[in-house]
Amino acid sequence: MRILLVEPAIYTPAGLDKREMRPTQLISLTLPYLAAMVPPEWEVDLVYEVCEDLERDYDLAAYDVVGITTQTIQLKRTLELARTIRGLGPRVVVGGPATVEDDHSLVPVISRFSDSVVVGEADVLWQRLLADLARGELKKIYQSHEPVPMSDHPLPRFDLVDFSKIEAPHVLPSFTARGCPRRCTFCSEFLYSKWRYRPVNDVYEELIAYRDRFHIPRVVFRDDDFLVFPKRSNQLLGRLAGEGIEWGCQTDFNLARHPDVVQSALDGGMRVVSFGVESVREKNREFTEKTFFTIPEAEDLLLRLHEAGVETQVNVIFGFDWDDPDVFDETYEFAMRTKVSRLFLSVLYPIPGTPLYEHLGREGRLLEKRPQGIDDPLAVTFTPKLMTADQLVEGYLDVERRFAEADLTNRNYWLGKDLVVI
């Protein structure tokens, strides 16, 4: 049997995007991880459409099955590819976060264009599906309501990645936990998986294999909140000290209250960290239930990490109910004071199923749902409280421009200013 696993490109309002949405030095975990569970007698190829021409360079008709991973933002391209590829003969199986979004509302759509849809986490189902396929008994939908086991995961098949098509320096993704124990009111993460950890030793062995077998001692942890549990963080980071592995992660400012974890992280190879500050205004953070740190604590931690040479990133969302037009200046000043290396901004987007969405719905302030498959990061889909939608977008663009033009010469960048790894 021959199988092709595909991560599609993204349609933007300007057309099919290649090599723009994310730096090509980075590859995502999904395909190498799924490939590792394919029976050894099968032939497997992987394609990242952001850096390869799938339709030109691959003989698609030669595969028995093509598996496509899809986030909602990739759905338009996924459906287009599924239709084309099925017309050429192979069976098409689709999985990924889009199958979960909005109470599985997209599954019937995906199902019309594919032979089989795997809903949600696939680790166990994927192996079952491949066995069914080999017997000629492929089912239309595979869905499990049980969280998959977190131990003894296979080593992702990075040996199948053609790194010559991906610019160096290379960074490999790993994850040590799925889901998130927090319940920030704007975030949909709870829809995707329950919070649970992989055994520390499994993670350690994986990272050593990245270093020794793939010769890449640089890792980005894809956990939603990597350092959220201090005791476990110390256990894992203690194992990494002295191993020569450098890494980045995203986590939360709870870290400010655990200086021992900060020290373990620095000793264990932390080079870049991304924090969700979400808002510099305490009232907004009360609404989001992110009250486990104060802005002065966040500032102290950011400066401590800056001094230690770590690249720091903060993520801010504009449009919460306590944001008025002054919030833009306050945010810019926060970023300058704390010497952050990168400032990632977004306009609040209410995701169906979240407490934020329900809050805005109750107040009659929801304007529209996100158009399927197209993500306009500047679309204001709700009525802001203390400013107009235009002020919100203009303020966002103004902070973005000012930060881009600011003198950032004393900032830290792990792999250079052009490589964003988180």
The item of ligand B12, ligand SF4, none sharing an interface with residue 182, based on CB under 5 to 8 Å by kind, is: ligand SF4
Q: Does 30 bind ligand B12 (CB under 6 A)?
A: yes
Cβ at position 296, least distance to ligand B12 in Å? 28
Segment 153 to 212, residues that bind ligand SF4, using CB under 6 A:
180, 182-184, 187, 189
b (16+ CB within 10 A) / e for 173-190? bbbbbbbbebebebbbbb
- Give the residue closest to ligand B12 by C-beta: 95
Q: Does 224 bind ligand SF4 (CB under 6 A)?
A: yes
The item of ligand B12, ligand SF4, none sharing an interface with residue 22, based on CB under 5 to 8 Å by kind, is: ligand B12
Cβ at position 106, least distance to ligand B12 in Å? 8
| Residue from 177, 207, 179, 183 nearest 193 by CA | 179
Cβ at position 226, least distance to ligand SF4 in Å? 10
Q: Where are the alpha helices (DSSP H) in 326-409?
A: 327-337, 355-362, 389-405
Q: Does 356 bind ligand SF4 (CB under 6 A)?
A: no
| Residue from 280, 259, 261 nearest 343 by CA | 280
| Residue from 344, 278, 285 nearest 311 by CA | 344
The item of ligand B12, ligand SF4, none sharing an interface with residue 225, based on CB under 5 to 8 Å by kind, is: ligand SF4
Cβ at position 351, least distance to ligand B12 in Å? 7
* Interface stretch with ligand B12, choices 92-100, 131-139, 275-283, 392-400 (CB under 6 A): 92-100
| DSSP secondary structure string for all residues of 23-34 | -TTB--SHHHHH
129, 1 Cβ separation under 8 angstroms: no
Which of 214/322 has CB closer to ligand SF4? Answer: 322
Region of 53 please: left (phi>0), alpha (psi -120 to 50) or beta.
Answer: beta
50, 74 Cβ separation under 8 angstroms: no
Q: What CA–CA distances, in Å, run from 354 to 38, 85, 99, 107, 188?
A: 35, 35, 17, 19, 6
Q: Does 319 bind ligand B12 (CB under 6 A)?
A: no
The item of ligand B12, ligand SF4, none sharing an interface with residue 254, based on CB under 5 to 8 Å by kind, is: none
284, 322 Cβ separation under 8 angstroms: yes
d(CA 118, CA 116): 7
Strand partners of residue 218:
246
d(CA 410, CA 323): 30
Q: Does 82 bind ligand B12 (CB under 6 A)?
A: no
| Interacting residue with ligand B12 among 11, 25, 44, 101 (CB under 6 A) | 101
The item of ligand B12, ligand SF4, none sharing an interface with residue 93, based on CB under 5 to 8 Å by kind, is: ligand B12
Find the farthest-apart pair of alpha carbons in the chain and give their distance in angstroms, rounded. Answer: 63
| Interacting residue with ligand B12 among 85, 122, 255, 335 (CB under 6 A) | 122
| Interacting residue with ligand SF4 among 49, 52, 101, 252 (CB under 6 A) | 252
Between 169 and 188, how does the x/- string for binding to ligand B12 read (CB under 6 A)? ----x-x------------x
Residues that bind ligand SF4 (CB under 6 A): 180, 182-184, 187, 189, 224-225, 252, 276
